[in-house]
Amino acid sequence: MTLIETFSLAWEGLVLNKLRSFLTTLGVIIGVAAVILMIAVSAGAEAAIADQINALGANLIIITAARGVPGRPPTLVYDDALAIAQAVKGIAGVAAEQSLADQLIKWGNVSFTTPALSTTPDFPLVREAPVSAGRFFTQADLDRKNKVIVLGSKVAQDLFGDASPVDQEVVFGATRMTVIGVMAPKGKVADTDYDDRVYIPLTVLYQRFLSNIQMKDRVRTIYVQAASSETMDSAIGRIKAILAQQHGVTLSNPDFIVQTQEDIIQTQQATTETFRTLLAWVAAVSLLVGGIGIMNIMLVSVTERTREIGVRVSIGARPNDVRRQFLLEALILSLFGGVVGVIGGVGGAWSFNEMGAMRTVLVPWSLGLAFAASAVVGIFFGYFPANKAAALDPIEALRHE
Amino acid sequence: MKTQTISSPLLQWNAQPDPLVRVERLVKVYDTGEAPLRALDGVSLDIWRGEFVAIMGHSGSGKSTLMNVLGALDRPTEGRYLLEGEDVGEMDMEELADLRNRRIGFVFQSFNLLPRLTALQNVMLPIRYRVENRMSAQEREELSIAALESVGLGERLHHRPNQLSGGQQQRVAIARALVNQPSLLLADEPTGNLDSKSSKEIMGILQRLNRQGVTIVMVTHEPDIASYAGRIIHMKDGQVFSDGQNGSQRDADRIPVTQQEITV
């Protein structure tokens, strides 16, 4: 019997049992779709993280304190930022940042709470967040500890409506402050809404808002913008040297971390890689379960069709014909499941994106992998039932009720 | 039986050259634990081309086992089985499958049609399992239709088995058994599941086929059915008890009652 002939026999066998064939292949459909979707979701997460990090600004060098000793304040201070700004060549700006938890902001009879970022004059440049009205604070404001405040676009809207906030006085926390500017809308990056917060000078934070004396010169992060990508490496080297000198530590045992966006993206990718591997394994297990489903149904099918097999043998089917028929049935089922699963996975990834539920990025190799896996599942799990069918004793099989 | 082989060369040349079937001292032992069961206990037989043989016997007499051996579905424990002079015992699985496909046609008591296939598809099945002389789909269909027409079912090609009466199903089974033009038709209680009218029709078909030259071996336990055969072999305890020509062979086509029943 030719392969085409066997194929058509197998096909007839499946078509005659449409519902069962479909239910059998459902496991593979779900498995294949899951593999593709899982990989698309993790690739989407990776792309989203990369976007967020790139949105921080261009050519950024990010300095954070190394994990400190509990009970001791973090090691990074405002003076570090000043030292870098003064001594490092080939940089465009330095912005030191420290955040402040929600405080009440009040103008007239409007009031609500909002978080604050306390920072230095280079912030709009370094973080690519320009002001849309008025101005950002200057080094003079910092040096004189001027009680000035810049509003995020949403805060300005909520507080002042259509009125101009510049030069108005607001009460922030317990401090009267003069609004000197409003930021242009920037939107959300990671979990931070740039528009729904206010900006105050770092020195004003230290003077008016912090009660913990140990924190009164600390910064969470220093962002340095290199003048160009070519000056990045030399700037990093210089920054490390200056910080080591400032902190009295060696470069081999620093109490600070200097990273680029590239470094952070890579670190994040390593995390999502693990995440992706885990998801792929979960999906692979579901594919395996689908395969076991096929084997299960094929075994039932062989038992149910024992008499049919006996009849086929009695009219001249060779053991190979029987084996190939059942193997092909399993293979067709799993390949069909593979095709439908690929369509389902791609469609699912696409609609996740469209509905805005989750960002997904289709990874081409995942389609091939999932489809190939479905074929392997078909052959692997079809072989045992097919062999069982081929090995049936024809006389016993013919007697089977 | 032995004496036959010692006869003169001239006589042998004049006589038929070889029996279609020759079995020599067949023994089949079923190992059923405590006491081994000798289902066949030294059966020797010749069946010649053109014969219509009925094998009779009670259940356990070994007639079904003999049938399975003749159909190449079972191998004997001892003894030889020659079909058209070839030793079936020497054949491998592939050759046995080809033998069942091309040289033997099986008709069963319970018809054994594949329930989800139409009459035509059932009849085409043996052609599809052919290894040699493969045919196009069209030739295959024409041949199968011809086979169904020869058993009077030209009008029921696309009926499923459950849309056919028992007698019609058995006729489909006969068409399927004949479609590859086998040299031996084996019928295992072919009327066992049929009423007397359908039984007569089936026996009529078998007799007509036999007159056209098909060699038939039929197992039955009904003397009435056996009386349509030209030669009757009785088996008992795995051995041939008696073997002789049927002096009073009935002709299914010459019984007018059947015709009347059909027209009523």
Alpha helix positions (H), A225-363: 232-247, 261-304, 306-314, 319-355
To the nearest whole angstrom, how far is the Cα of A386 from the nearest Cα of chain B? Answer: 17
Percentage of residues in chain A with pLDDT exceeding 90?
36
> Over chain B, what is the mean pLDDT?
87
Cα A292–Cα A293–Cα A298 angle in degrees, nearest 5? 95
Chain A positions in Cβ-Cβ contact with residue B106 (cut-off 8 Å): 314-315
- Residue B145: inside a domain, yes or no? yes
Number of H helices, E strands in chain A: 13, 12
- Cα within 13 Å of Cα(B80), Cβ side: 11
Closest chain A residue to B124 measured between Cα atoms?
Answer: A315
Which letter does DSSP use for residue A217 in this model? T
Per-residue pLDDT at A190? 63
Nearest Cα to Cα of residue B153 among B176, B185, B136? B176
Q: Which band of pLDDT confidence, cut at 50, 70 and 90, is reported for residue A292? A: confident
**pLDDT computed for residue B186 by the predictor:** 96
Q: Write the CB contacts of B231 (distance below 8 Å, at least 6 apart in sequence).
A: B51, B52, B53, B54, B243, B244, B245, B246
Q: Is residue A367 part of a domain?
A: yes
A47 and A71 both lie in a single domain: no
Confidence band (pLDDT; 50, 70, 90) for A159? very high
- Per-residue pLDDT averaged across B106-133, rounded? 89
B184: closest CA of chain A, how far (Å): 13
For B98, the closest chain A residue by CA position comes to A316
Question: Mean of the pLDDT values across residues B233-241?
Answer: 93
Compute the mean pLDDT over every residue in chain A, rounded to the nearest whole number: 87
Is the pLDDT confidence value at A362 over 70?
yes
Is there a contact between A308 and B114 if contact means CB atoms under 8 Å apart? yes
Is B8 a residue whose pLDDT tops 60? Answer: no
Residues A166 and A238 in one domain: yes
Shared domain check, A115 and A28: no
Q: Virtual CA dihedral for A1, A3, A312, B111, nearest 10 degrees?
A: -90
Q: Pick the residue from chain A with its C-alpha nearest to B94.
A: A318
Are A162 and A20 in a shared domain?
Answer: no
Asked if residue B238 belongs to a domain, the reply is: no
Which range of A343-352, B124-133, B254-263 scores highest in mean pLDDT? It is A343-352
d(CA A163, CA A151): 13
- Domain residues for the domain of A246 are 67-254
Say how far apart CA A214 and CA B227 lie, in whole Å: 117
Q: Tell me which residues of chain B have a C-beta less than 8 Å from any C-beta of chain A.
A: 68, 71, 73-74, 93-94, 97-102, 106, 108, 112-114, 116-117, 125-126, 128-131, 134, 176-177, 180
Q: Do A313 and B126 count as a contact with CB atoms less than 8 A apart?
A: no
- Write down which residue in A229, A254, A279 finishes a domain: A254
User: Tell me, what's the pLDDT at B7?
Assistant: 44
pLDDT band at B264 (very low <50, low <70, confident <90, very high): very low
Number of domains chain B contains: 1
The closest alpha carbon to B248, from B223, B222, B221, B230, belongs to: B230
In percent, how much of chain B has pLDDT > 70?
90
pLDDT higher than 50, residue A280: yes
Q: What is the pLDDT of residue B257?
A: 46
Distances (CA, A) of B166 to A303, B108, B111, B260: 25, 12, 8, 20
Residues in a beta bridge with A176: A171
pLDDT of A214 higher than 60: yes
What share of chain A in percent tops pLDDT 70? 98
Residue A261 inside a domain? The answer is no
Local structure of B81: helix, strand or coil: strand
Q: With cut-offs at 50, 70 and 90, classify the pLDDT of residue B11.
A: very low
Q: What pLDDT score was predicted for residue A373?
A: 87
Task: Look at residue B258 in the predicted model and tell me its pLDDT.
Answer: 44
Cβ atoms of residues A61 and A258 within 8 Å: yes
In total, how many domains does chain A have? 2
Average pLDDT over residues A89-104: 91
- Please give the pLDDT value at position B190: 93
Q: Are residues A127 and A218 in the same domain?
A: yes
Task: Give the minimum alpha-carbon distance from A272 to chain B in angstroms, rounded to a whole number.
Answer: 52
Residue-level pLDDT at B243 = 93
- Residue range A46-59: mean pLDDT, rounded: 78
Residue B219 has pLDDT above 60, yes or no: yes
Of A75-79, B12-16, B33-37, B149-153, which range is least confident? Answer: B12-16
Set of chain A residues whose Cβ sits within 8 Å of the Cβ of B99 = 316
Query: Three-state DSSP class for B54?
Result: strand
Is A384 found in the same domain as A295?
yes
Residues A42 and A74 in one domain: no
Are A249 and A327 part of one and the same domain? no
SS3 assignment, position A84: helix
**DSSP E strand stretches across chain B:** 21-30, 37-47, 52-56, 78-83, 86-87, 104-107, 184-188, 215-219, 231-236, 239-245
Helix (H) or strand (E) holding A154: helix A153-160
- For residue A74, give the DSSP letter: P
| DSSP tag of B90 | G
Asked if residues A74 and A65 have their Cβ atoms less than 8 Å apart, the reply is yes
Contact A330, A343 (CB under 8 A): no
Please report the pLDDT score of residue A275 as a whole number. Answer: 81
Average confidence (pLDDT) over A114-138: 92
In this structure, of A123-137, A213-227, A262-276, the range with the lowest mean pLDDT score is A262-276
Contact A289, A29 (CB under 8 A): no
User: Distance from CA of residue A214 to its chain's centroid?
Assistant: 36
Contacts of A398 in chain B (CB under 8 A): 73, 108, 112
- Rounded to whole angstroms, how far apart are CA atoms A157 and A163? 9
CB of B219 within 8 A of CB of B55?
yes
> Phi/psi of residue B85, each to 5°?
85, -5
- Could you give the CA distance from residue B72 to residue A244 in angstroms, rounded to a whole number? 92
pLDDT of A74 reads 79
Whether residues A231 and A299 share a domain: the answer is no
Task: Print the domain residue range for B144.
Answer: 117-180
> Looking at residue B15, what is its pLDDT?
53
Q: Is residue A260 part of a domain?
A: no
Does residue B86 have a pLDDT over 70?
Answer: yes
Domain boundary among the residues A254, A277, A306 is at A254
Identify the closest residue of chain B to A391 by CA–CA distance: B93
Residue A84's alpha-carbon distances to A32, A97, B40, B202, in angstroms, are 53, 14, 105, 107
The pLDDT of residue A341 is 92
Q: Which residues of chain B make contact with A312, given a CB cutoff of 8 A?
A: 125, 129
Residues of A in contact with B71 (CB under 8 A): 314
Among partner residues A16, A316, A398, which is closest to B100 by beta-carbon distance? A316
Res B16: pLDDT: 56
Contacts of B262 (CB under 8 A, 6+ apart): none
Same domain, residue pair A224 and A366: no
Question: Residues A250, A252, A258, A262: what is their CA dihedral angle, to the nearest 10 degrees?
Answer: 160
Average pLDDT over residues B13-25: 78
The whole-number pLDDT of residue B68 equals: 92
Residues of B in contact with A304 (CB under 8 A): none
Is residue B102 included in any domain, yes or no?
A: no
State whether A37 and A113 are in the same domain: no
Among A313, A314, A316, the residue with its CB nearest the CB of B98 is: A316
| Per-residue tokens: B88 | 């079936």
Mapped onto helix, strand or coil, the DSSP state of residue A29 is helix
